[in-house]
Amino acid sequence: MATAAVSVATRRPTRQIHLGNVAVGGDAPVSVQSMTTTKTADVEATIQQIYALAGAGADIVRCTCNEREAAEGLARIVPRSPVPIVADIHFHVEMALAALDAGVHGLRLNPGNLRKPEEIRLVAAEARDRGVPIRIGVNAGSLHPELYERFGGATPEALCESARMELAYFDEVDFHDVKISVKASNVALMIEAYRLASETFDYPLHLGVTEAGPPPGGLVKATAGIATLLAEGIGDTIRYSLTADPVEEARAGRQLLEALGLRERKGLDLIACPSCGRAEIDVIRVAKEAQSALEERKIPLQIAVMGCVVNGPGEAREADLGIAAGRRRGHLFIKGKIVRVVPEDEMVSALVSEAEKIVAEGIDARLAAADSGAERAAEEDRRRLFDERGADANHAGERIDEIRRHLKGPGKHEGDADEGAGES
């Protein structure tokens, strides 16, 4: 039976801006961002990390510009980068102007740190003249003190007011090439702030849970916030802020968008059962081995590793390719159809080999090349395992007899009315 087509909510309409050749907002795909952790002045190390981030799925990369050497580094990095570069600016207007001179594709300004109106207008005017977008990067941890006092803390209203105040300065110099973020490390606050921002502004929104922390907790928090909003149609570009190698940020962002159907799959989507008493193999070990081998080969398929053949192929029938274990053999299946039965110790290698053939030849061709006796052999394995382990694993017949015996014993009997029946 085919799975019904489902999708997240329709994206809310926003203006569109461009960072280099990457569009953000409007009808552009949701993009993935990350930030380098190298010293920007170390050009070679930074370029190497940018390429690693791009390879992991980053569409845009941000680099800090906190000193003259960093700005000079950006001048050398920008023309060599495979993706648009955004300069991260906090306290010094001179660094924003230097980054623009270096040729960056975008700026990120924190309105809680860069506060002088004349400096904000100056940067906006220079960005306007160069056609360089600016992200208004509001952060719950660095709001202007006046906003903390006026709103009684870092509330969604306070975060959105910070962005509104910055936009007012931009309006004074007729600059509108803007995207907005209203980040917080508290997931619930972050979600409510972005919901309010989506109702308040028509500019594209950059989603993120700031300072989410190291994995796995950081991944959970970031995903909880970002995925919730994307599912509601809110958000135009995303960044995972993890205490980890930034390549993990880019990979997580890309995987999230693919999982939500917001970007075409470019990498592996490995699904695996959680294992149970029916499992014929060490599912965790086999899944890890398969994931390592398939990711290394950059296989862009959904692939399943299932612990038993009783339910495995059926439960994972929508996967492009999968394998299920049974009676010291593996059942290799494509879209739920068994195409081969292989020895248990060849399960991973057979899975990898078939995945490469699907990428090269296509699913229909590989279905046509299925072994003629594969389905019959697989059915024999399933029937034997079901008889051994699945037919009455809970001894249901004996339990039902016991239930009936008790119900006919002292106390409530079959046909007795419930206590209080008929009372008004």
Reply yes or no on whether the pLDDT at 375 is more than 90: no
Average pLDDT for 255-281: 83
Average pLDDT for 11-26: 97
Return the HEC string of 26-54. CCCCCEEEEECCCCCCCHHHHHHHHHHHH
Distance CA 422, CA 424 (A): 6
What the chain holds in terms of domains, given with CATH numbers, is 16-259 (3.20.20.20), 269-390 (3.30.413.10)
Show the DSSP H helices in 281-395 as ranges. 283-296, 312-315, 347-361, 363-368, 374-385
Average pLDDT for 266-284: 77
**What pLDDT, on a 0 to 100 scale, did the predictor assign at position 317?**
82
DSSP state for residue 341 in the 8-state scheme = E
Give the range among 80-89, 129-138, 265-274 with minimum mean pLDDT.
265-274
Q: What phi and psi values does residue 198 have, to the nearest 5 degrees?
A: -70, -25
pLDDT one-digit tens code per residue, 148-196: 999 999 999 999 999 999 999 999 999 999 999 999 999 999 999 999 9
Reply yes or no on whether the pLDDT at 316 is more than 90: no
pLDDT class of 411 with cuts at 50, 70, 90:
low
Strand partners of residue 22:
19
pLDDT one-digit tens code per residue, 215-247: 999 999 999 999 999 999 999 999 999 999 999
